[in-house]
Amino acid sequence: MILDILLTRYNYVVVALLLPVGAYMMIENRNLVKKVIGMNVFQTGIFLFFITAAYREGASPPLVGDGGAGVTYVSPLPHVLILTAIVVGVSLTAVALALIVRIYAQYGTLDERRLREAYADE
Amino acid sequence: MTPLEAVVLVFVIGCALAAALLRDVLSAIIAFAAYSLGIAVIWVILQAPDVALTEAAVGAGVMTLLLLLTIAKTVRPESDASFEDVRPRSLVVVVAFAAVLLATVPALPAIGAETPVTTGEVTSYYLENAYEETEVGNAVTAVLAAYRGFDTLGEAVVVFSAVVAVLMVLRREVMA
């Protein structure tokens, strides 16, 4: 039963493992840069869920221009959504990292606990 | 599951765990770059070449560059241990989260099965009509640029806002 689920839904199992790893990095890692990496791990976990949902056994990439009749294609719609999400994710990361550089210039540390202390002292 | 898929999935989980547990930030960034590359291979296996290209160029390329620039501008914390301490309190929360997610997996359709996502009305419409209506051979491009063009415009607005925000935040460091 469990082996059967693992063999037919393995990507979803990986999603269910990647999201907690990303969440753990955001909660527990003290360095702000590692928190941003954790956010990206969480995001790609969700991407994996979408792209896996678009997949169909034996299907080709959705290049409909040169296809003939009877060719099955994977669904293009989740691919489009994830393309947009990847670009938005990079924008988000760029802004987060710019803020991190600014925080470092102001406080001289990227450690969450030391930042809290510095903030409490002000 | 083919052996290639199994190897790549294990590699990806391993890289994610390495990024989470390595204390040195540069090591974590390298682990994350390897992770992005593994994910790009998964996109190829899942027949999503457009997403794979974007992931390899943007996820593994630009993202790693941004992270490296950040630690070049800041300082790598001196690390006495090579791995992070794992605190039980947050581990309990995360394991509970994983358990909840894993409990939903049996309810999901098998990978590659015919689901409403792959055979539904919207997907069928795009696959049947995209080439005639837009004359773009790649259905992903057709949907991105034509059918959901306003989404892409919104995406461009997000990128523009991000560039403006980064320039505003870094004005003193970069311009001066």
Going along chain A from its start, the domains and CATH numbers come out as 2-60+71-121 (1.10.287.3510)
Same domain (yes/no): B140, B97 = no
Q: What are the tens digits of pLDDT across the range B8-52?
A: 999 999 999 999 998 888 999 999 999 999 999 999 999 999 999
B126 and B169 part of one domain: yes
Check whether residue B135 and residue B75 sit in a common domain.
no
The predicted structure's pLDDT at residue A67? 62
- Please give the Cα distance from B40 to A69 (Å, whole number): 29
Domain around B150: 111-176
**A8 → chain B, closest CA residue:** B110
Cβ atoms within 10 Å of A96's Cβ, excluding its own: 19
Task: List all residues of chain A from 21 to 40 with a beta carbon under 8 Å from chain B.
Answer: 21-25, 27-29, 31, 33-34, 36-38, 40
- Say if residue B7 is in the same domain as residue B45: yes
- Report, as an integer, the average pLDDT of B2-12: 92
Write out chain A residues lying below 8 Å of B25, CB-based: 31, 33-34
d(Cα A44, Cα B91) in Å, to the nearest integer?
Answer: 21
Each residue's pLDDT tens digit, A29-52: 888 999 999 999 999 999 999 999
User: With an 8 Å Cβ cutoff, is B79 touching chain A?
Assistant: no
Cβ distance A34 to B19 less than 8 Å, yes or no, reads yes
Q: Does A64 touch chain B (CB under 8 A)?
A: yes
Nearest chain A residue to B54, by CA:
A83
How are the residues of chain B apportioned to helix, strand and coil, as percentages rounded to the nearest 5? Answer: 80, 0, 20
Same domain, B3 and B49: yes
d(CA B86, CA B58): 31
Distances (CA, A) of A51 to A3, A35, B40: 23, 25, 11
β-pair partners for B22: B83
Where does a domain end: B108, B137, B157? Answer: B108
Q: Same structural domain for residues B65 and B51?
A: yes
A118 or A1: which leads in pLDDT = A118
- Model confidence at B58: pLDDT above 80: yes
Distances (CA, A) of A45 to A1, A13, A78: 24, 10, 14
The dihedral through the CA atoms of A58, A59, A61, A67 has a sign that is positive
Band of pLDDT at residue B176, cut at 50, 70 and 90:
very low
B103 and B127 fall within a common domain: no
> Å from A29 to nearest chain B CA?
8
Minimal Cα–Cα distance from B20 to chain A, Å? Answer: 6
What would the mean pLDDT of A78-96 be, rounded to a whole number?
Answer: 93
pLDDT in tens, B134-154: 888 888 888 888 898 898 999
Same domain, B69 and B136: no
Instruction: Find the CB nearest B48 among A61, A91, A99.
Output: A61
Residues B62 and B91 in one domain: yes
For chain B, the domain total comes to 2
Give the domain-ending residue among B69, B86, B108: B108
Closest CA to B143 of A31, A33, A82, A66: A82
User: How many CB pairs (< 8 A) connect A and B?
Assistant: 269
- The C-alpha atoms of residue B52 and residue B68 are separated, in whole angstroms, by 22
Q: Which of B49, B82, B108 is the last residue of a domain?
A: B108
Cβ-nearest to B77 among A31, A83, A98: A31
The pLDDT tens digits for B67-118 are: 999 988 887 666 677 787 788 888 999 999 999 999 999 899 888 888 888 8
Verify that B126 and B73 share a domain, yes or no: no
B-chain residues within 8 Å CB-CB of A22? 16
- What CATH number did the domain enclosing B99 receive? 1.20.120.1200
Same domain, B44 and B8: yes
Q: Which of B8, B17, B27, B101 to mutate to test the interface with A (most CBs of A within 10 A)?
A: B101
